[in-house]
Structure 1
Amino acid sequence: MSTAEEEWRGVAAEDTETLTQRATLRLQRRSRALLGSLLRPHSRMVALALALVVAENAASLAGPLIIAIAIDSGIPAAVGGDPSTLAWCVGGYLVASLLSSGLRYLFLRLVGRIGQDVLLDLRQRIFRHAQRLSLSFHENYTSGKVISRLTSDVDSLDDLLDNGVDGLLSAALSVTGIAVLLVVLDPPLGVFVLAGFIPLVLAARWFFRNSNAAYRGTRGAIAKIIVQFVETMNGMRAVQAFRREQRNESIMSGLNGSFRDANRRALDVVAVFTMTVRMVGNISLAAVLLIGAWRVVGGGLELGVLTAFLLYLRRFYDPLDEMAMFANAYSSATAALEKISGLLEEQPDVREPESPVDLPASDRGRAVTFSRVAFRYSADGPVVLPEFDLAIPAGQTVALVGPTGAGKSTLAKLVARFYDPSSGSVRLDGVDLRELSDSALRAAVVMVTQENFLFSGSVADNIALGRPGASRSEIESAAGAVGAHEFISRLPEGYGTDVRKRGGRLSAGQRQMVAFARAFLADPSVLVLDEATSSLDIPTERAVQGALESVLADRTALIIAHRLSTVLIADRVLVIDDGRVVEDGSPAELIAESGRFAALHSRWRDSLV
């Protein structure tokens, strides 16, 4: 390797290290800012907690001093016939102990209350923010990762607030207070003990650097485990149908192994630091005992002072163990906060306008206009919809047909504003969708998909999602309009029947009928049906088609369907291929032209014979 190549590689490595350090500092600043924003509303309670812990430590530190006075003054005076000093020492020790215990009780209750309020706020923030993020985010950021942020990462912060903060405050105050008292009691021994801080400071720096890196590994590993678990549970039918159990077990075993290894690395770091603290502490204690005893024998140090010094010294190093545990919890919580703050930093691609525009009044459907619209899912991704113009008059029902992947659903998602176009604009009665408030847009445009997702709860509750606050009679009327009233009435509790998780108590067709009733109750100006009849059998589909005529009346509709029986009720058909409209006309006109739609219609008609 040439000298120039060596220098280039050295510079590249240095640049990489610098970038890594900058990224780490940015993550740390971001997580600290999040923690500060969580604690800021509780600043008064935090200040009170600090006052309580200071008072509690002061009462606790008084104990060894009282013992020293009792040994050096109280006991000799009592032997001489005056027990008052000793009595005052005993009483003072009891009062200090009771005061310390009472203040600690109040402190722990207050810190616990602050911690739970902070965690409640954080969970609400994560859930609220995740709901506001755009569909594009949720298609890339798996639900398992969001669950990991909301569970294991929040639990790490819970551990820090419940145990770590208490340990840190008590330990920091104890170490500071004892250090001062040691120097006051005997300056030479005090300075000797404080010299032992030099290796401890070096060990602490090593610990924080390595523990932060180790716990970032544990946060990433547990997130992957949760993602795999959620994916497996959601896809259990496919898992069992295709006998994927062994493969999933192998994947989970590898992820669990990675998590175990990451935790081992973190625990190894804690073990080394704890060993260093205890080793320094024990060596210091042995040395002080030896030197102090020699000075007591020589008359240079009183026995009570040595006793108090040793008691304080024991307390001096014990809190350092607690600080190690805090540092352990802090590193874990910091790594968790970095992940959580990263999620909270995400911004929706589809944003609500600061000054929304009102839609003009309309008794019928609204005109939908695509003006020089082009779309790609990411800035560097392929073009899904090349630039095009399209006008759909108010009240017209338009069917979109074409091969899978042609761009039909993408076009529908632009109308529902799940995405914004990469260029151009989509307008509703002349108003750009980006200028409408979310509430106005959702009231004007409703999309029914083949997913037909239902939430746990009653059938009536799921239909009422279309218009919260609707009366029971309005809910039943909506169900009757789409032909769902009959099967709902036959359910064990009728409209009050719990559909259970994801609507599992109902068949796919029944779930689709409930979704139609929900859309009908919402009474939108524009209705988008994306393969909305795909889950229906032929008799049910025919019944729904009859209901669709009333559902689609006086409103604009976009229908995406592979079943041409549904398409034929449209006023207009758009044949889409590779993101472009290649045929446009009424069903009858396109059938007569012998083009692509005519070929589709011919094959469909032959399949019915």
Structure 2
Amino acid sequence: MTQTSEQAWRGYAEENGDDLPQAASLVLKEQSRKLLGELLRPHKKLIWLLVVIVVVENAARLAVPYLVHLGIDHGIPPILAGEGATTLVTVVSFVLASAIIQAFARQMFLMRSGKLGQTILLGLRRRVFDHFQRLSPSFHDKYTSGRVISRLTSDVDVIDEMLETGFDGLVTAVLTLFGTAILLLTLDLKLGLAALLSFPVLFAITAWFRRRSAQVYRRTRETVALVIVHFVESMTGIRAVQAFRREPRNEEIFHGVNDKYRAANLESFRINAIFMPSVKGVGNITIVAILVYGAWEAYHGRVTVGVLTAFTLYLRQFFEPLQEISQFYNTFQSASAALEKLSTVLAEEPDVPEPAEPAKPADARGQVEMRDVRFSYVDGVEVLPGLDLEIPAGQTLALVGTTGAGKTTIAKLVARFYDPTGGDVLLDGIDLRQFTEDDLRERVVMVTQENFLFTGTVADNIRFGKPDATMAEVVDAAKAIGAHDFISALPDGYDTSVEKRGSRLSAGQRQLVAFARAFLADPAVLILDEATSSLDIPSERLVQRALRTILTDRTAIVIAHRLSTVETADRVVVLEHGRILEDGSPADLIGSGGQYAGLHQAWADSLA
């Protein structure tokens, strides 16, 4: 893990700390409520149906103690008097019917709530994934891959848990609390009032738990994200970690974030250990007090045995959901924290938004123009202070200069990975900001030195820029680039898996596959950013032949330190601090004795 990534996770920890300003916290809560509403709104009818099912289920459950009271007080006396068991049989029948209704309603709820939860999560995952893909490279430059994974996995999983158990638990708890309170007062006012004396204590305990759990479970979500961030960063850069003996420092950092995660979980266990026994204790004391007081009332004939029995059953039902609220709050607070994280990401706007009124471009020619273009990665530090550059259609332009001269920045602006902070970038006379994403990507393709290959076959990776391409088109593209022979020699030819990041292929082979991908996409403008920088001499010669093919009949911007690549260009522009120092054909610039001539001589001497 590099120093930069260490700073990143530390910054992330600070960003999500408890010192979040009140105004920012309110904004987060509003965003999360809005997101939850957007997720639930399309399913309003099903949600109301689930509410009705839960109400029916709980009504059937709450009816049982009252039926027991009726059975004892009105069903047993006729039997003792020899008048028959009709009343008791009727009551027992209603108890049985209540049990059947409760079981059936429960089954219906589980089936429909499970389907609802998975439908919502399917949509949420798609939404988050699609949004991450639409966000600009500038966002992904600062938002680590570990945080991306945390949003799409652990945060979505905890929302899944809330949808599975939280809704049912909340509605059941509310119905049980209010329904039981009403029934207790209905059965016997004095006993009911005595039982309700415990309510203020219970509400005080619950309010304390709600406040503490809100803090604790937010910290739990934040610390588990830090664990994921550090793990992903370390494993992604494992070669650098091992090469520079970074393992001890990475272990130290991981132990630190892991210990914070452990401490956050221990704190959640501690507040549960206080809350649950407290509720249970208050409940048991209340039941004992009601039994004593009720027995005294029954002894004096002011309360029947049936009423006292129903009271005891209702009190047990009343305190059970209060204990379950603990688990509900666990889930709810974790889900709230997760919703805040997801809503924050989904509120991010792309730095290169789609146009409100897109242009309708004609067939692409490939003319590129930059008019007084200014650009800054950091406020106050301009990489391009006002660049004017025109590239005619079909011309191959090479950009040369020292590190930081602005070469890659020009490439990213032409590819519209970024928008200029000033000036305009045009393609065929149309500002790039007026192109839709699809129209622009059909016309401009960028190939970098990374040569990123995705898990799948060689054919899949060549077809990446044109998913509907036939196998014949894939083979023709590989032949044109000069990759067909080595692909055919692979164990399964074009169906050979490239493994993770193309590790089954050499650097030169990966580059040829990337070129075949670009050739098949057939853009009007092709940008090659250090496309041969990581190749050895034999591989570079192989790629050079492919370059001549891929650059034919299209506009190209070539960035390279190796001047062997530059020699294929029609025109060379030498840059320094975002300004053009020299501009001309390679032969003219060599003969001029300027900066490019010096670079060319140094390159020739290195070959000798």
Task: Normalising by structure 1, report the TM-score.
Answer: 0.94
String of CA shifts for 1:555-603, please: whole Å, max 9, x gaps.
1111001111011111111111222221211111111122211111111
- Give the structure 1 partner of residue 377 of structure 2: 377
- Give the structure 2 partner of residue 34 of structure 1: 35
1:195 counterpart letter in structure 2: L
SS of aligned partner of 2:386: strand
- Give the structure 2 partner of residue 535 of structure 1: 534
Structure 1 CA distance, aligned partners of 2:284 and 2:593?
94
Structure 1 CA distance, aligned partners of 2:605 and 2:341?
57
SS of aligned partner of 2:356: coil
Partner residue of 1:172 out of 159, 165, 174: 174
Q: C-alpha displacement at 1:19, in angstroms?
A: 8.2
In the alignment, is the contact (CA less than 8 A) between 1:512 and 1:535 conserved in 2? no
- Give the structure 2 partner of residue 108 of structure 1: 110
- Give the structure 1 partner of residue 242 of structure 2: 240
In the alignment, is the contact (CA less than 8 A) between 1:373 and 1:426 conserved in 2? yes
Alignment of 1:363-512 (within 5 A): 365-378=365-378, 380=379, 382-512=381-511
| 2:596 matches 1:597 | yes
String of CA shifts for 1:143-171, please: whole Å, max 9, x gaps.
11111011111111111111122111112
SS of aligned partner of 1:372: strand
In the alignment, is the contact (CA less than 8 A) between 1:270 and 1:328 conserved in 2? no
- Give the structure 2 partner of residue 285 of structure 1: 287
Change (3 A) 1:138 1:36: same
In the alignment, is the contact (CA less than 8 A) between 2:591 and 2:597 conserved in 1? yes
Structure 1 CA distance, aligned partners of 2:137 and 2:311?
64
| 2:217 matches 1:215 | yes
In the alignment, is the contact (CA less than 8 A) between 2:387 and 2:578 conserved in 1? no
Structure 2 CA distance, aligned partners of 1:44 and 1:219?
32
In the alignment, is the contact (CA less than 8 A) between 2:508 and 2:540 conserved in 1? no
Identity over the aligned pairs, expressed in percent? Answer: 55
- Give the structure 2 partner of residue 135 of structure 1: 137
| 2:160 matches 1:161 | no
- Give the structure 2 partner of residue 14 of structure 1: none
- Give the structure 1 partner of residue 3 of structure 2: none
Q: Which range moved further: 562-571 or 161-170?
A: 161-170
Aligned Cα RMSD in Å?
Answer: 1.6
Q: Which range moved further: 442-451 or 186-195?
A: 186-195
SS of aligned partner of 2:381: coil
- Give the structure 1 partner of residue 189 of structure 2: 187
In the alignment, is the contact (CA less than 8 A) between 1:350 and 1:417 conserved in 2? yes
SS of aligned partner of 1:71: helix
Unmatched segments (≥5 aa) in structure 2: 1-17
- Give the structure 2 partner of residue 327 of structure 1: 329
SS of aligned partner of 2:371: strand
Structure 1 CA distance, aligned partners of 2:19 and 2:152?
32
Structure 1 CA distance, aligned partners of 2:405 and 2:19?
46
- Give the structure 2 partner of residue 317 of structure 1: 319
Alignment of 1:67-146 (within 5 A): 67-81=68-82, 82-146=84-148
Q: C-alpha displacement at 1:18, in angstroms?
A: 12
Q: Which range moved further: 486-495 or 103-112?
A: 103-112
- Give the structure 2 partner of residue 250 of structure 1: 252
Q: C-alpha displacement at 1:354, in angstroms?
A: 2.0
2:149 counterpart letter in structure 1: I
String of CA shifts for 1:295-340, please: whole Å, max 9, x gaps.
1111111111111111101111111111221112101100110001
Structure 2 CA distance, aligned partners of 1:299 and 1:453?
86
Q: C-alpha displacement at 1:257, in angstroms?
A: 0.3
- Give the structure 2 partner of residue 5 of structure 1: none
- Give the structure 2 partner of residue 7 of structure 1: none
Structure 2 CA distance, aligned partners of 1:261 and 1:19?
20
Q: How many residues align?
A: 590
1:406 counterpart letter in structure 2: A
- Give the structure 1 partner of residue 55 of structure 2: 54
Runs (4+) off by over 6 Å: none
1:149 counterpart letter in structure 2: R
Q: Which range moved further: 133-142 or 208-217?
A: 208-217
In the alignment, is the contact (CA less than 8 A) between 1:60 and 1:97 conserved in 2? yes
Alignment of 1:339-378 (within 5 A): 339-362=341-364, 365-378=365-378
In the alignment, is the contact (CA less than 8 A) between 1:400 and 1:560 conserved in 2? yes
Q: Which range moved further: 342-351 or 93-102?
A: 93-102
Structure 1 CA distance, aligned partners of 2:546 and 2:89?
94
SS of aligned partner of 1:557: strand
Task: Normalising by structure 2, report the TM-score.
Answer: 0.94
Q: C-alpha displacement at 1:528, in angstroms?
A: 0.4
SS of aligned partner of 2:572: strand
SS of aligned partner of 1:383: strand
In the alignment, is the contact (CA less than 8 A) between 1:443 and 1:522 conserved in 2? yes
In the alignment, is the contact (CA less than 8 A) between 2:447 and 2:528 conserved in 1? yes
Change (3 A) 1:257 1:19: closer
